[in-house]
Structure formats: C-alpha cells, structure tokens
A and B are shown apart, each in its own frame.
Chain A
C-alpha cells in the first residue's frame, strides 16, 4: 500500500537554527512529490514539486531534495514567520485508489521557530 510518513511530528527551533524535515514514502510509480506549507485554519500553500531522485528545488530559506525513498525539506536560518505545518504529498501511478494518481498526504511536521 502506498504510504507517506513525515518526521518529526513537531519540531521546535530557535531563530537561525537550521534543520531538516523528513518525508519517507512508498509508492507504485512516483509521478511527483509535493511540499506544501499550511498555516493554522488555512489551506495548504504550494512550495515545491520534485519528480526524480537527485532533484533539488530552492525557495528563500527552504530547499527540498529527493531520493528514491525519501525527501528532505531543509530550512536554513529559519525565522519565526517560517512557523507552520509542512505537508508532504506523493502522486503515484494511474491506478492508485481507483482514482487518477491522486495525492497521498503525510500527517505533516509542525514547525515552531522561536525568536
């Protein structure tokens, strides 16, 4: 069964303290791995899409990397405004779940950055 597991569930950092969030996945025929940011009471905001092992994407203090089994979201010198829940999702093969390669989400990592 296709699965997405994110760790840790929660992460507390001091401002400027760099760290990484992990997303492990098992999926039949990865078509894409997506990172989203979700603020409390809001919908997810798109950050990155990764398609193949070795691929990297960057945006401001965030950098996403992908291997055949997992993805990392690296946060460099975080600021309090980076506090949010970060969601990882994978899109598998066409036949998953009877629907056309829909997204499977992990439970997210709640990041808190203290000033």
Chain B
C-alpha cells in the first residue's frame, strides 16, 4: 500500500523550454504533497509543499515563478519547471502524506521513484 508514481521517470530538454512532472498517489488520497530535489551525493532538499485546492508553500530561495506547482486533486500534483536552464538539471522527487483512513500512515511521507531532469 501507499504507492506514489511519477511521470516521466527521466526527461531531456533544451535550455529555455518548460517541463512538467506529474506526481500521483495510486492507492490513497493526499491533501498534502511535497516536492524535493536531490543533487548527487547530497540530501533531499525540500522545494515546496503542495496543498490540494490552494497555493503551494515554497521554501526560502526557491523561485515560485520558475517552479510552478499545481495540486488539482487529492491524487495529483504537478511541478512545471519553466524556462529550464542547465543548472536546473537534477533529480526531482515528490512525496505524499495519506489522508487518515486511506492506505498508509497519515504521519508518513511516501515517496515517488523520482524524475531525472537533464537540461542541455
């Protein structure tokens, strides 16, 4: 139980283009989802907290206009990297916290498999 999927698993794009990454909770509902990025040999860094039906909360230093987050339903959040540049190349991982009464523990973040973004 408590499975999270991400799509795509990897993407290569040209500098200046936009890329959308989807995060879905497959067997539970989540009012809160999280977006992280991870550089090689580094820890997960929280970028933003996505709340269903409301605006995302961004961590300090994360550009809201560059990393657009939409949480349109209780099972889907999307991250759009706008006007991507090579420095945006990274491993992006989402997580979701189950609503009480659904699959998984309500106090635990369950992670997706990640999306490897490479910007040329």
Measured CB to CB, the residues of A under 8 A from B are 32, 34, 36, 41-46, 49, 87, 89, 97-100, 102-103, 105-108
Give A85's nearest chain B residue, CB to CB: B41
Residues of A within 8 A of B108 (CB): 34, 46, 49
Residues of B within 8 A of A32 (CB): 107
CB pair B112–A43 under 8 Å, yes or no, is: yes
Residue B103 CB within 8 A of the other chain: no
CB pair A102–B34 under 8 Å, yes or no, is: yes
Q: Give chain B's interface residue range (CB within 8 Å of chain A).
A: 20 to 34
CB pair B43–A108 under 8 Å, yes or no, is: yes
CB pair B111–A107 under 8 Å, yes or no, is: no
Q: How far does the Cβ of A91 sit from chain B's closest Cβ, in whole Å?
A: 8
Give B57's nearest chain A residue, CB to CB: A99
Residue B105 CB within 8 A of the other chain: yes
A99 to B35, CA, bound (A): 13
CB pair B59–A97 under 8 Å, yes or no, is: yes
16 chain-A/chain-B pairs, Cβ below 8 angstroms = A32-B107, A34-B109, A43-B6, A43-B95, A44-B44, A46-B109, A46-B110, A49-B108, A87-B44, A97-B59, A98-B57, A98-B59, A100-B49, A102-B46, A103-B46, A107-B42
